[in-house]
Amino acid sequence: MTGSAGSWLFLVAASLAVACALGTVLSRNTLRSAMFLLGHLGSLAMLYLTLHAELLAAIQLLVYAGAILVLFVFVIMLIGPSGGEPPPFRNAFPRTFAATFVATLGLAVLGLVGRTAMEVPSAPEGFGGVEAVGFALFRDAAVPFELIAVTLTVAALGVVGITRGKTAVEAAGEAKRPEAE
């Protein structure tokens, strides 16, 4: 990717990331907020691609946008999206999002006007690749990696324990109890 095309793509992705992050925080509808989070995670993956970290971009899309966001949407649909009356400024939200995106992109462009392109040093060989990330993860951060794996396993078991239905034994025990009058 050429220097100026890469800079413009980086600016667009960064502006989109800021606008989607604001949309995630400011949206009153939880499902819409999750969709803004998806846009934010996608724009972060685009930022990783502009920085030549292809593995991080793939992990960003597969793990965060693919798995965790699906879990968020599942929980939102299980609990129920935010109900009630829609806010009175409902139709102004897309315009606010567009204005935020354009303003952020405009400020970035104004910052570039009159500047000459900087010479960016090239990344070291293997930067952002599978081998470099694997070495860093399993050599330097093996203990935290294993602790996170155990923590996530315990959390998954806790979720199963909390959300499971009553067993037949529990239901039979409740049926045999005399009603308090």
Question: What's the pLDDT tens digit per position in 22-53?
Answer: 888 888 888 888 889 999 999 999 999 888 88
User: Quick one: pLDDT at residue 44?
Assistant: 94
Give the mean model confidence (pLDDT) for residues 61-83: 77
**pLDDT value of position 94:** 73
Q: How buried is 49 (Cβ within 10 angstroms: 0-12 exposed, 13-18 middle, 19+ buried)?
A: buried
Q: Which of 131-135, 143-147, 160-164 has the lowest mean pLDDT?
A: 160-164
Ramachandran class of 122: left when φ > 0, alpha when ψ lies in -120 to 50, beta otherwise: beta
Q: Is residue 53 part of a domain?
A: yes
Q: Is 148 a domain residue?
A: no
User: Given this model, what pLDDT does residue 40 score?
Assistant: 93
**pLDDT of res. 118:** 61
Report the candidate in 181, 178, 15 with the shortest Cα–Cα distance to residue 109: 15
Is 120 within the bounds of a domain?
Answer: yes
Helix (H/G/I), strand (E/B), else coil: 111: helix
Tell me, yes or no, whether 87 lies in a domain.
Answer: yes
Q: Which is more confidently placed, 31 or 85?
A: 31
The answer to whether residues 27 and 100 touch, using CB atoms and an 8 Å cutoff, is no
Residue 171, in any domain of the structure: no
Buried/exposed 5-44: b ≥16 CB within 10 Å, e otherwise: eebbebbbbbbbbbbbbbbbeebebbeebbbbbbbbbbbb
Which range is least confidently modeled, 23-27, 52-56, 70-74, 143-147?
A: 70-74
Over residues 108-120, the pLDDT tens digits come to 777 766 666 666 6
Higher pLDDT, 89 or 149: 149
Asked, for residue 98, whether it belongs to a domain, the answer is: yes
Q: Which of these, 124, 154, 153, 150, lies nearest to 136 by C-alpha position?
A: 124
Q: How many domains does the chain have?
A: 1
pLDDT tier at 178, thresholds 50, 70, 90: low
Residue 110 placed within a domain = yes
Q: What is the CATH number of the domain that holds 42?
A: 1.20.120.1200
Mean pLDDT of all residues in 15-27: 89
Q: Can you give the residue range of the structural domain that contains 22?
A: 3-128
Residue 84 has pLDDT above 80, yes or no: no
Q: Is residue 165 part of a domain?
A: no
